[in-house]
Structure 1
Amino acid sequence: MKKRKIAFIVLISLILTACGQSVAVEETKEKEKFKESKEEIKTEASSKTVEHIQEVDLERRAEQKLELLTTSKKVPLASTAALEEKQKEGAPTTDYSTTEHEQTYEITVAEANLRKGPSTKHEKVFSLFYDTKVEASQKANLGDSDWYYISAKGKEGWISSSIVEEFEPTKQSELKVIVDAPLINQMPLLPRGCEVTSLAMLLQFAGVSVDKMTLAEEVIRVPFEENGLRGNPYNGFVGNMYTFDEPGLGVYHGPIAELGKKYLSSIVDLTGQSFDAVINQLNAGKPVWVINNTTFSHLSNGYWETWNTSNGEIQITYKEHSVLVTGYDDQYIYFNDPLAMIKNRKVSREDFIAGWEQIGSQAISYN
């Protein structure tokens, strides 16, 4: 009888142990399923978070590009692609007629698209670059714009009349001077840093080893707005130079000349003099830092606004832009553009001087 009781107790223990193990196994399986489910949810949430961040980043980039193309004073001339994207909706137009049109043109933007038909809705054939000479044979009028059928570099296609100008060869004897100054890119580190970048080009040409970022750190700064008053570019760099996410404008000749003298004692401020002073420096083989605007021509009143500063009211434009003048002839002014990244870019002499005079005839060079 006693042995039967012992056997019964052992049997009950074995059954309970087995049940316990079974329960433990089931609990383990449930925990693993819960963990896997949790990981799936976490992964899905993480994926959605990444997608959200990417969407936000794309929106931010789009907003920055829009600012560059519209309100910003630093409007890049990198290509016509951004502008063309806005015009690509719908099918390519076939409603146009052509006429014979023989003329030599040259490209006036950094990169231009040659297309199969006379609109941006047509497929791109080839890219042509700044100052490339092209031969036109036909002209198409689309009502609000003209397109030319041209040939260049073994390619043929259509190009908008808005990004070319008639080629007028300059006689060699009329070419006065071209200074071989370095070209420095202000982007992407200094979206609003054309003034210090142009100063870096000037100083480096003069033999001074200093970079744009050092000059950006050392230039005098003033707040974009303080106590209800806007900053004054005559006093220092207004606002943020490093990003379009915060407000900013630029800086005028005074603080730039002061900064330049820290590195080169012979810096001379030519501001207020006629453009002959710039020509004289070029004749002496020295480039000239200037303030102009992104159109390099006289700006209409719509591009200007009045700022109330601690020194009183001043007129400013967000299209303000600084370049380094490197040469001239009887038709053009040549300059290194730190934004468009074009060396010895040329603009009509009359237009360039008009834009330069409108913003105060600001110029800096050295003796």
Structure 2
Amino acid sequence: MLKTLKYIFATILVIGLVMTSAFFTLLLYLKITDQEFLIGSNPDDMRQSVAILTENKDDYNESDNVDQKKEKLESAFIDAPVVLQLPELYNGCEIATLTMMFNFYGIDKSKMDLLPELKQDPTPIEYNKDGSIRYWGNPNLGFVGDITGKKKGYGIYHTALFELLIKYIPTGIDFTGKDFDELEQQVSDGFPVLVWTTVSYTKPSEKQWMVWDSPLGPIRTTFQEHTVLLVGYDNDHVFINDPRKNQKGIKVDKKQFIESWEALGKQALSYRVD
């Protein structure tokens, strides 16, 4: 009888030790995983606690992965190179300005290297009896006319030029239609912007506009069209590299420049770095 009692006691002791060990092992695991062991909690309380833990975890991961937008500086300036369109490319302001951007990025190409890759709209020019243009190419399809100036030429718009930009800089971005503040943010972050404006950086007069028919339908435009590289700004001015002028950071009144940019359809190209 005594032997039986000793056996029962020993069995109970072993079971108790096993359960105690399991309990402390569970506590240790919960401590390591930073969870709570809610003794006496009902199922609803448990679900609520799990939900809170999950919510906090998601918040933490989300804040870790947010790409914080840099605060825009009150003024900024980028020391980008100047590339002149002349003497080879009388009408080549766009390809020369794109070359400035490429050279700043680190791409060792000249405007003449890039010229064969520039998209063209070969539509021949046709005139009305009064000498005005009746039918010609569309700059949204490619460069219109003769870029060298030996014959009549016009230019190229953002849609067609963007193809060449992303060929060399896959992270290129078309900022056309965005607010000018976003262009300034680009410069603030260290990225120059190719901008469509006019040769005088002012809004064209009504008599400087014209309309001709094209493969995409009628297009209203002006021979005052020009492109420059936006490299800086402050409260009242922008600073540009103009492919017609061998000078860095030409200072221009911001209000009049924005008006000229808006008149040309708010066209702009730039890029970001992954």
Q: What TM-score do the two structures reach when normalised by structure 2?
A: 0.68
Aligned to 1:346: 251
Query: Looking at both structures, which has the greater relative contact order when contacts are Cα pairs under 8 Å and sequence separation is at least 6?
Result: 2
Find out whether 1:220 has 2:124 as its counterpart.
no
Q: Which amino acid aligns with 2:97?
A: S
Which residue of the partner structure matches residue 241 of structure 2?
336
Among 202, 209, 223, the residue aligned to 1:318: 223
CA RMSD of aligned residues (A): 1.5
Count of matched residue pairs: 193
Which structure 1 residue ranges, 5 or more long, are not aligned?
A: 1-173
- The residue that corresponds to 1:232 in the other structure is 138
Q: Which amino acid aligns with 1:225?
A: P
Task: Verify the 8 A CA contact 1:289 1:363 in the aligned structure 2.
Answer: yes
1:188 maps to what in 2? 87
Give, in angstroms, the shift of residue 324 of structure 1. 0.3
**Counterpart-to-counterpart distance in 1, 2:98 and 2:78:** 15
Map of 1:102 onto structure 2: none
The letter for the 2-side match of 1:212 is K
Is the 8 Å Cα contact of residues 208 and 264 (structure 1) preserved in structure 2?
no
- 4+ residue runs over 3 A deviation: none
Give the letter aligned to residue 121 of structure 2.
V
Residue of structure 2 equivalent to 1:65: none
**Which SS does the other structure have where 2:248 is aligned?**
strand
**Would you say the 8 A contact 1:224–1:247 is kept in 2?**
no
Residue 225 (structure 1) shift:
2.5
User: In 2, distance between residues paired with 1:222 and 1:257?
Assistant: 15
The DSSP-based 3-state class of the residue aligned with 1:312 is coil
Q: Distance in 1 between matches of 2:113 and 2:265?
A: 27
How many angstroms apart in 2 are the aligned matches of 1:362 and 1:247? 23
What is the CA-CA distance between 1:226 and the residue it aligns to?
5.5
- 2:196 maps to what in 1? 291
Residue in structure 2 matched with residue 205 of structure 1 by the alignment:
104
Conserved in 2, the CA contact under 8 Å of 1:323 and 1:337? yes
Q: Determine helix, strand or coil for the equivalent of 1:342.
A: coil
Q: What are the superposed Cα offsets for residues 187-235 of structure 1, whole Å, 9 maximum, x if unpaired?
A: 1011111100100111111111211112222111112536763100111
| Other-structure match for 2:187 | 282
* 1:266 pairs with 2:171: yes
Task: Find the aligned partners of 1:326 and 1:225 in 2 and give their Cα distance.
Answer: 36
- 1:151-184 deviations in Å (ceiling 9; x for gaps): xxxxxxxxxxxxxxxxxxxxxxx96100010111
Normalised by the size of structure 1, how large is the TM-score? 0.51
Secondary structure of the residue aligned to 1:258 is: helix
Aligned equivalents of 1:289, 1:315: Cα separation in 2: 21
Range that drifts further, 203-212 or 326-335: 203-212
Q: Indicate whether 1:304 and 2:209 are aligned.
A: yes
Change (3 A) 1:310 1:181: same
Q: Deviations over 1:117-158 (max 9, x none)?
A: xxxxxxxxxxxxxxxxxxxxxxxxxxxxxxxxxxxxxxxxxx
More helix by share: 2
Name the aligned partner's letter for residue 113 of structure 2. T
Looking at structure 2, the residues matched to 225 and 302 of structure 1 have their Cα atoms a distance apart, in angstroms, of: 24
Secondary structure at the residue paired with 2:195?
A: strand
Matching residue's letter, 1:219: L
Residue of structure 1 equivalent to 2:160: 255
Distance, in Å, in 2 between the alignment partners of 1:226 and 1:289 is 28
Residue 310 of structure 1, CA deviation: 1.4
Percent identity, please: 37
Q: Which one has the bigger strand percentage?
A: 1
Cα offset, 1:245, TM superposition: 2.7
Residue aligning to 2:261: 356
- Cα-to-partner distance string for 1:7-31 (whole Å, 9 max, x where unaligned): xxxxxxxxxxxxxxxxxxxxxxxxx
Call closer, same or farther: CA 1:189–1:356 in 2, change over 3 Å. Answer: same
CA shift, 1:277, in A, is 1.4
1:99-248 to structure 2, matched below 5 A, reads 176-223=75-122, 225=124, 229-242=135-148, 244-248=149-153
